[in-house]
């Protein structure tokens, strides 16, 4: 039974990412960001969350370039996956 619950939880997580195809960087926690974005590990994901907590929600995707460790390549590799609000 535990195995089924685990598999169902994992499947639900994967479906939510694939259906939406994006991640809201103004709402996601560090683990969600690290799992969803290419080239973003735990440390960079935590830096994104810390930046958001210090400066408020991201107003544009390009604002991610202000986060230490996030460069043009990382941003461009993930641009299509990143959203800022629920409506996008």
30-67 pLDDT, tens digit each: 999 999 999 999 999 999 999 999 999 999 999 999 99
CA angle in degrees (0–180, nearest 5) for 35-76-82: 50
The helix/strand/coil state of 2 is helix
**How many CB atoms lie under 10 A from the CB of residue 36?**
21
What's the pLDDT score for residue 4?
60
The reported pTM is 0.74
pLDDT(1) > 50: yes
**Token representation of residue 15:** 């479906």
End-to-end CA distance of the chain: 37
pLDDT-derived band at 21 (thresholds 50, 70, 90) equals: confident
């Amino acid at each position: 039974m535990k195995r089924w619950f685990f598999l169902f939880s994992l499947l639900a997580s994967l479906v939510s990412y694939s259906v939406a195809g994006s991640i809201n960087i103004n709402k996601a926690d560090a683990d969600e960001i690290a799992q969803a974005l290419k080239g973003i590990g735990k440390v960079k994901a935590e830096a994104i969350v810390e930046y958001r907590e210090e400066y408020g929600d991201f107003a544009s995707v390009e604002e991610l370039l202000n986060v230490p460790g996030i460069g043009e390549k990382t941003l461009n590799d993930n641009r299509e996956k990143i959203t800022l609000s629920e409506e996008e």
